[in-house]
Amino acid sequence: MDTLISRITIDPAICHGKPCVRGLRYPVETLLELLSSGMTLDEILTDYEDLEREDLLAVLAFAARLAQTRRLQPVNP
């Protein structure tokens, strides 16, 4: 997984420091939105020819790492 996550770069000079794929100006959040909208990996790869399958897997691995929590606190109304 660390090899995949190494494809995600954070550079203050690119996309305002948002996590991107290999510095290509494709923010992780944009690719996650495409995936959550129902686009398949193949559809995204067709639309964005400079991306590789491993880039999209890296986006998912990065999101999974961010989603890891030790404990959630319930919100009291």
Q: Residue 26: which of 13, 35, 40, 14 has the closest Cα?
A: 14
Residue 27's DSSP bridge partners are 20
Residue 8's DSSP bridge partners are 21
Q: Where are the domains of the chain?
A: 2-67
Number of H helices, E strands in the chain: 4, 2
pLDDT at 2: 78
Taking the C-alpha atoms of residue 9 and residue 72, their distance in angstroms, rounded to an integer, is 28
Per-residue pLDDT of 2-53, as tens digits, reads 789 999 999 999 999 999 999 999 999 999 999 999 999 999 999 999 999 9
**2-67 CATH choice from 1.10.10.10, 3.30.70.1530, 3.40.50.800, 3.90.550.10:** 1.10.10.10
pTM of the model: 0.84
Contact 53, 41 (CB under 8 A): yes
